[in-house]
Amino acid sequence: MDGIVGILLAAGVGQRFDPTGRRLKLLEPAPAGPHAGVPLALASARNLLNAVGTVYAVVRPADDDVGQQRLHALLSDAGCRLVICEQAREGMGASLACGVRATADAKGWVIALADMPAIEPGSIRAVARALAEGYDTAAAFFGERRGHPVGFANSLYAELAALSGDDGARRILAMQPPHRVSVADRGVLLDLDTPAGLKASL
């Protein structure tokens, strides 16, 4: 699967997790599983690195934010290449566009979220394999439910690079429905948005 890279979206503020902004969700410990106790973002990064090898982590500027500085260090030390997205506060679409523009020569991208630490590397590899086989878009499905990660071929570079706001790539996926990659992995649906959700997943 040469030329297909992973993009880890790790620039979110986690507003639903902590409206005060004092706790950085991505540094919270992952629930039970192979990465139990490891910061969410690091667990997610390890799964993506295991599956595709080359990973770019999109992060917000650290400035004097100690939490962001720690996040940058964790991801960099794990083997991710950092993409500092100055437009991160605009939303997920802006972060995704930053990651794609930084890797314009890739043959395709597997987009993963840093707050989804339970996705098995095999599920990620299956999505990458679908791109290698020629599909323009692909996504992991558990039963009838679409989960993450989602993959895009380089043929959609212009559309991805132009994304903005917080809708992510929904419009692109509406126009180009993803190839269904069926997996027996509930982790593709486990998105940890709130402290209650994190506790309930234990």
Do residues 152 and 160 lie in contact, with contact meaning Cβ atoms separated by under 8 Å? yes
Do residues 155 and 108 lie in contact, with contact meaning Cβ atoms separated by under 8 Å? no
Strands 4-9 and 108-113: parallel
Do residues 125 and 90 lie in contact, with contact meaning Cβ atoms separated by under 8 Å? no
Residue found under tokens 């919270």: 28
Residue 181: what pLDDT?
98
Phi, psi of 112 (to 5 degrees): -125, 155
Residue 201: what pLDDT?
43
Residues 6+ apart with CB under 8 A from 158: none
Residues 6+ apart with CB under 8 A from 138: 127, 130, 131, 150, 151, 178, 179, 181
Domains, the chain: 4-200 (3.90.550.10)
pLDDT in tens, the chain (202 residues): 689 999 999 998 655 545 445 678 999 998 877 888 999 999 999 999 999 999 999 999 998 899 999 999 999 999 999 999 999 999 999 999 999 999 999 999 999 999 999 999 999 999 999 999 999 999 999 999 999 999 999 999 999 999 998 878 999 999 999 999 999 999 999 877 544 444 444 3
CA dihedral 9→15→16→19, nearest 10 degrees, is: 160
Do residues 65 and 91 lie in contact, with contact meaning Cβ atoms separated by under 8 Å? no
Question: Tell me, what amino acid is at 70?
Answer: R
Angle between helices 40-52 and 66-78 (to 10 degrees): 20
Question: How many helices and strands in the chain, by DSSP H and E?
Answer: 7, 7
What are the residues facing 145 on neighbouring strands? 142
